[in-house]
Structure 1
Amino acid sequence: MNGPAVHVDTASPVPPYEQIRAQLAALITTGRMPEGERLPTVRQLAADLGLAAGTVARAYRELEAASLIRTRRGAGTRVAPLPAPTQTPDPAKLAELALRFVTEARGLGADGETVQRAVRDALDE
């Protein structure tokens, strides 16, 4: 993984595996981690972050279930091709993502206006 690093805030109410999953998912879906890029091994990322290997393994399992990464024996874990965009996003999934973002942002102490501004800024990028 040559791109941006993953960070875990141990003081956050969001579990570490979810922080890892969310950060990697965002890097992948925005193209900052391109298709085929190799991710560190579970053990390596766990050691880098000072976490148990099971924590990173859970994040990787969830990313694999979402078809964002693929793990192949001998080839390691790599970013999978992104699925073709659907015409209409699933409202339930959007609501889930929004809730996750708001929960994490509020955990950082952000108020509603700050959260909305962050979303607008991200959309403008």
Structure 2
Amino acid sequence: MTLKIDIDDGTGIAPYEQVRAQISEQARAGALPVGYRLPTVRGLAEELGLAANTVAKAYRALESDGVIETRGRNGTLVAAAGSAADREAASAAQTYAERARRLGLSEAAALDAVRDALRAAYGESG
């Protein structure tokens, strides 16, 4: 199993976000198993033709999301993130649902707001 990342300059999506999204997707799909050692920041940056800071930003975001963990000299590894990500998403959803109810939104209006936010976050239109 190897990490496969394709940076497309024509998408309008920042390179760090492309790196983050592709690693996250591969980890969650199991293409990168738990414990898989990712390349160093410099190594991946060189391989992709990106600045080291770009890859470092993607790694920081992935670590914050619980997808990867950095273990100093032992490198950066894919974490057992599925359940942690699920728990965090469920917690955020619960918080949102309670807030929407307090604001007096109908279920339909609350769901519409979530769909709009997801479309904006994932770069989809309509």
- Shift of the 97–22 alpha-carbon distance from structure 1 to 2, 3 Å rule, reads farther
Q: What is the identity, as a one-letter code, of the residue corresponding to 2:10?
A: A
Distance 1:34 1:52, change over 3 A: same
CA, structure 1 residues 98+35, in 2 after alignment: closer, same or farther (shift >3 Å)?
farther
After TM superposition, list the pairs within 5 Å mapping 1:12-27 onto structure 2: 12-27=11-26
Percent identity reads 40
Structure 1 segments of 4 or more deviating over 3 A? Answer: 88-92, 94-101
Greater percentage in helix? 2
- Indicate conservation of the 8 Å contact 2:3/2:23, yes or no: no
- What corresponds to 1:3 in structure 2? 2
The answer as to whether partners of 2:7 and 2:15 remain within 8 angstroms in 1 is yes
Q: Which has the higher contact order (CA 8 A, sep 6+)?
A: 1
Cα RMSD (Å): 2.3
Letter of the structure 2 residue corresponding to residue 19 of structure 1: Q
User: Contact 2:28–2:82 at 8 Å: present in 1 too?
Assistant: no
Deviation per CA, 1:33-78, whole angstroms, max 9, x where unpaired?
1100000000011001101000000000000001110111110000
Equivalenced residues, count: 102
Counterparts of 1:16 and 1:3, CA distance in 2? 20
d(CA) in 2 for partners of 1:29, 1:55: 22
Residue aligning to 1:115: none
Structure 1 segments unaligned to the other structure (5+ residues)? 107-111, 113-125
SS at match of 2:38: coil
**1:53 paired residue number:** 52
| TM-score normalised by the chain length of structure 1 | 0.70
User: Given the two structures, how large is their TM-score scaled by the length of structure 2?
Assistant: 0.69
Matches within 5 A, 1:71-90: 71-84=70-83, 85-86=86-87, 89=90, 90=92
**Runs of 5+ consecutive residues of structure 2 not aligned to the other structure:** 97-113
Tell me which structure has the larger Cα radius of gyration. 2
